[in-house]
Amino acid sequence: MSLNTYRAGPDEHGHFGIYGGRFVAETLMPLILDLEKAYTAAKDDPAFKAEMGYYLNQYVGRPSKLYFAERLTNELGGAKIYLKREELNHTGAHKINNCIGQILLAKRMGKTRIIAETGAGQHGVATATVCALFGLPCTIYMGEVDIARQQPNVFRMKLLGAEVKPVTSGSRTLKDAMNEALRDWVTNVGDTFYIIGTTAGPHPYPALVRDFQSIIGHEVREQMVAMEGRLPDTLVACIGGGSNALGLFHPFLDDAEVAMVAVEAAGHGIETGAHAASLTGGRPGVLHGNRTYLLQDGDGQILEGHSISAGLDYPGIGPEHSWLHDVGRVTYVSATDKEALDAFQRLSKVEGIIPALESSHALAEVIRRAPTLPKDHLMVVNLSGRGDKDIFTVARELGVSL
Amino acid sequence: MSTANSRIDRRFAALKAEGRAGLVAFITAGDPDHDTCLDLLKGLPGAGADLIELGMPFTDPMADGPAIQASTLRALATGARMTRTLDLVKAFREGDADTPIILMGYYNPVYAYGVDRFLADAKTAGVDGLIVVDLPPEEDGELCLPAQAAGVNFIRLATPTTDKARLPAVLANTSGFIYYVSIAGITGAGSATSDAIAAAVAHLRTGTDLPVAVGFGITTPDGAAAVARVADAAVVGSAIVRRLEANLDTEGKAKPGLLPDVLGFVAELAAGVRGARK
């Protein structure tokens, strides 16, 4: 297929090729149609843009820096590596970009109650934060397994005034938290706004979250041109649902000279079956409102993902990624738990920056790829979150008791 | 092929002639195990179920409450899968040519099976209709239109959020009957007032001549009777599934007496429905 642009999607039905769509219960259909209408109006409203700009700048601390990682570059001896410092955002990850956008939308729509799902807790913390900022009550659904491995974020959410509801059904991780949030939404249709944390779910969420996260790529474009006088050669990001990757990639999709690599979580290894790599190890199916690549058995039953990183531990992926995968615009690879752990420690020691385990998957690919490239090759990796929340997990993996 | 004069149409016509509403009983295919489920299925018409909804198990039943979630996981744990669900229907049909069976569930297991192959096999097995929760009118091209073309009714859900503007979209391309979900919520949680149900059914009748079945939140013979006074059928799901669950041992296996107890409960519901307009 030859395309004039990779940035036109989705179509009016929310489709990216065969992916995306609106696979939701009838009860929710009027709500997502309302949301689509409200978002279309807000997107082109200068007042909405100005308000978003204000909070992103004054509250989140944007623009985030594009930092030349000189020591890591020298150690790897190849490509020139830049870190997009999303971990410096307020709340410590890229998730807040989307939450600011969605809460302003919720306010515009007159909604008075917020719900969200969370895996690693980063999106939950970001949602709880914007709810505190705007004085709205908020309920966060989180799988019991994730609650156990992300205690610091659970406590953070509670400090911020959110109610954290443990999800005990199914595999008790992110996918089940999303099921439970959908059950809440279908029950509280009048007053509740569902802030989805990634570029997935029914249309218009995948497009809306992508748009709110695209500020990452827009900034990188300006920053790189200012620093190097040209566009980057390769962009690298980790991918669970795919919001930090799409936020970085989307503004560059039509720049043919920019290569893009997204890194899925290979867990214990793709061949073991214990992974969360939907594109590498799954096939197309329908879950949580959209058609996309899913980890599933032959009967269409959803399989549990595995990753050391709770934020990547999801059996699906955003529909636009499925499409970008099929058309070949983005290269999708994977990194194991162990590779991510190594990268986690390496960046900490070499650059004095502790990355999130999620972002460590992207760094693992940088460590593999950079040495094979010439010194004038400009590589940007999205440092989507900071690793403070992961120190307990990492300590346990390394056999250290805190 | 068309869906004209389907088994569902004939059943509703017969109910109308009798001057009463019908009882739609829901159980999950393969719950608590294949053989017990088949016995239950075979017993339902005798207990008074006029139509049967058979749940297609799915790991992630997003619109269902705890009772049906647990039921679907029990079924999967004892080996339920789409081919086995169709086997149940086939075995049921050998002894019953008249009671409509509607498969209810989520799209992914159907999609994984392959839509064309699924419709062909379902039709052969004796399936009469489909209710697929996560396929709204916006996705009619996926399964709804192919199903009607294959002679299988596609039954749409209408909900309290289906307003006047949206109703025509919901009614288009639906056949067999309309399933009114009486509460905004998941299965087995809360219930609507009789007045609210009556008003909603009247609203639906302004747009369609199809029979209207009402479900979600009906748990007792009296509740079923109240619905039977204003609608063409009452659907009971979670309450039957919970009754089944009460007859399982600690390992989730069927205790002796499960069959008569669950079928006895269905008979009470049926008595409620049948006596409603007297």
Chain B within 8 Å of A202 (Cβ-Cβ)? no
List where CATH 3.40.50.1100 sits in chain A. Answer: 15-57+95-204, 61-92+214-398
Cα angle for residues B185, A160, A117 (degrees, 5° grid): 35
- Write out chain B residues lying below 8 Å of A298, CB-based: 112
Chain B within 8 Å of A182 (Cβ-Cβ)? yes
The shortest CB-CB distance from B60 to any of A24, A179, A298 is to A179
Q: Is the pLDDT of residue A3 over 80?
A: no
Catalytic residue among B9, B31, B53, B140: B53
- Here the ipTM equals 0.95
Among A164, A246, A163, A165, CA closest to A206: A246
Chain B within 8 Å of A300 (Cβ-Cβ)? yes
Say if residues B28 and B272 touch (Cβ distance below 8 Å): no
Termini Cα distance of chain A: 54
- Superfamily (CATH H level) for B7-273: Aldolase class I (3.20.20.70)
Say if residues A290 and A19 touch (Cβ distance below 8 Å): yes
B245 is catalytic: no
Q: Is the pLDDT of residue B100 over 80?
A: yes
pLDDT tens digit string along A365-386?
Answer: 999 999 999 999 999 999 999 9
Q: Can you give the pLDDT at residue A1?
A: 47
Do B159 and A25 make contact, defined as CB atoms within 8 angstroms? yes
Q: Rounded to the nearest 10 degrees, what angle do helices B82-93 and B34-47 cross at?
A: 40
Q: Can you give the pLDDT at residue A118?
A: 94
B53 is catalytic: yes
Mean pLDDT, rounded, for A125-139? 98
Q: Above pLDDT 90, what percent of chain B?
A: 89
Task: Output the six-digit token pair for A125.
Answer: 């913390």
The nearest CA of chain A is from the CA of B133 a distance in Å of: 5
Distance, in Å, from the CA atom of B245 to the CA atom of B75, rounded to the nearest integer, reads: 12
Do A187 and B66 make contact, defined as CB atoms within 8 angstroms? no
- Count the helices and strands in chain A (H runs, E runs): 16, 14
The nearest CA of chain B is from the CA of A282 a distance in Å of: 12
Do B82 and A299 make contact, defined as CB atoms within 8 angstroms? yes
Mean pLDDT, rounded, for B123-136? 98
Cα angle for residues A109, A113, A119 (degrees, 5° grid): 110
The shortest CB-CB distance from B186 to any of A21, A183, A287 is to A183
CATH number of the domain at A61-92+214-398, out of 3.30.565.60, 3.40.190.10, 3.40.50.720, 3.40.50.1100?
3.40.50.1100
- At A2, the pLDDT band (50, 70, 90 cuts) reads low
Q: Which chain A residue shows the shortest CA-CA distance from B81?
A: A299
Distance, in Å, from the CA atom of A154 to the CA atom of B137, rounded to the nearest integer, reads: 39
Q: Is the pLDDT of residue B277 over 90?
A: no
Among A282, A250, A291, A288, CA closest to A264: A282
Q: Can you give the pLDDT at residue B254?
A: 96
Mean pLDDT, rounded, for B125-149? 97
Task: Output the six-digit token pair for B260.
Answer: 């008569």
The residues, ordered by sequence, that sit 6+ positions from B169 with a Cβ below 8 Å of its Cβ are: B137
The residues, ordered by sequence, that sit 6+ positions from A44 with a Cβ below 8 Å of its Cβ are: none
Among B231, B117, B113, B254, CA closest to B177: B231
Do B108 and A22 make contact, defined as CB atoms within 8 angstroms? no
pLDDT tens digit string along A77-105?
Answer: 999 999 999 999 999 999 999 999 999 99
Burial of A328 (0-12, 13-18, 19+ CB in 10 A): exposed
The CA radius of gyration of chain B, in Å to the nearest whole number, is 17
Among B1, B25, B22, CA closest to B10: B22
Q: Which residues of A are identified as catalytic?
A: 95, 117, 384
Q: Can you give the pLDDT at residue B1?
A: 67
Q: A335-358: string of b/e by CB count within 10 Å (b at 16+)?
A: bbbebbbbbbbbbeebbebbbbbb
Mean pLDDT, rounded, for B38-47? 98
Q: Is the pLDDT of residue B2 over 80?
A: no
For chain B, the domains span: 7-273
Mean pLDDT, rounded, for B56-63? 95
pTM value? 0.96
Residue A357 three-state SS: helix
Q: Above pLDDT 70, what percent of chain B?
A: 100
Chain B within 8 Å of A26 (Cβ-Cβ)? yes
Chain B within 8 Å of A24 (Cβ-Cβ)? yes
Q: Can you give the pLDDT at residue B191?
A: 81
A305-309, B142-146, B191-195, B239-243: lowest mean pLDDT where?
B191-195
Q: Rounded to the nearest 10 degrees, what angle do helices A46-55 and A95-108 cross at?
A: 140
pLDDT tens digit string along B189-203?
Answer: 778 888 999 999 999
Distance, in Å, from the CA atom of A185 to the CA atom of B173, rounded to the nearest integer, reads: 27
With the CA atoms of B156, B158, B164 and B165 taken in that order, what torsion angle do they form, in degrees rounded to the nearest 10? -50
Q: B158-167: string of b/e by CB count within 10 Å (b at 16+)?
A: bbbbbeeebb
Among A392, A398, A401, CA closest to A155: A392
The nearest CA of chain B is from the CA of A166 a distance in Å of: 14
Say if residues A335 and A265 touch (Cβ distance below 8 Å): yes
Q: Which residue has the tokens 């307990």?
A: A392
Among A215, A290, A268, A380, CA closest to A22: A290
Do A302 and B60 make contact, defined as CB atoms within 8 angstroms? yes
- Return left, alpha or beta for B208; rule: phi > 0 is left, psi -120 to 50 is alpha, else beta: beta
- Write out chain B residues lying below 8 Å of A21, CB-based: 138-139
Q: Above pLDDT 90, what percent of chain A?
A: 90
Q: Which chain A residue shows the shortest CA-CA distance from B157?
A: A26
Distance, in Å, from the CA atom of B112 to the CA atom of B110, rounded to the nearest integer, reads: 5
CATH number of the domain at A15-57+95-204, out of 3.10.450.350, 3.30.470.10, 1.10.10.10, 3.40.50.1100?
3.40.50.1100
Q: Which residues of B touch A (CB under 8 A)?
A: 57-63, 65-66, 69, 73, 76, 81-82, 106-113, 133-139, 156-163, 166, 170, 181, 184-186, 189
The nearest CA of chain B is from the CA of A238 a distance in Å of: 26
Chain B within 8 Å of A289 (Cβ-Cβ)? yes
> Taken in order A234, A86, A321, A254, is the CA torsion positive or negative?
negative
The nearest CA of chain B is from the CA of A302 a distance in Å of: 6
pLDDT tens digit string along A174-201?
Answer: 899 999 999 999 999 999 999 999 999 9
Residue B32 three-state SS: coil
Distance, in Å, from the CA atom of A124 to the CA atom of A138, rounded to the nearest integer, reads: 10
Mean pLDDT, rounded, for B167-188? 92
Question: Highest mean pLDDT: which of A117-126, B147-156, B194-203?
Answer: B147-156
> Taken in order B199, B203, B208, B212, is the CA torsion positive or negative?
negative
Beta bridge partners of B129: B102, B153
Q: Is the pLDDT of residue A43 over 60?
A: yes
Residue A399 has a CB neighbour count (10 Å cut-off) of: 6
β-strand A80-84 against A378-382: which pairing, if any? parallel
The nearest CA of chain A is from the CA of B13 a distance in Å of: 27
- Return left, alpha or beta for A92; rule: phi > 0 is left, psi -120 to 50 is alpha, else beta: left
Catalytic residue among B9, B31, B50, B64: B64
- Write out chain A residues lying below 8 Å of B61, CB-based: 179
Query: Which of A15, A18, A26, A194 is the best residue to mutate to test the B interface, defined by the most B CB atoms within 10 Å of its own CB?
Result: A26
pLDDT tens digit string along B193-236?
Answer: 889 999 999 999 999 999 999 999 899 999 999 999 999 999 99
> Taken in order B242, B15, B30, B215, is the CA torsion positive or negative?
negative
Q: Compute the count of residue pairs across chains A and B with CB atoms less than 8 Å apart.
A: 115
- Write out chain B residues lying below 8 Å of A186, CB-based: 63, 184-186
- Write out chain B residues lying below 8 Å of A286, CB-based: 106-108, 111, 134
Residue A309 has a CB neighbour count (10 Å cut-off) of: 27
Q: Is the pLDDT of residue A332 over 60?
A: yes
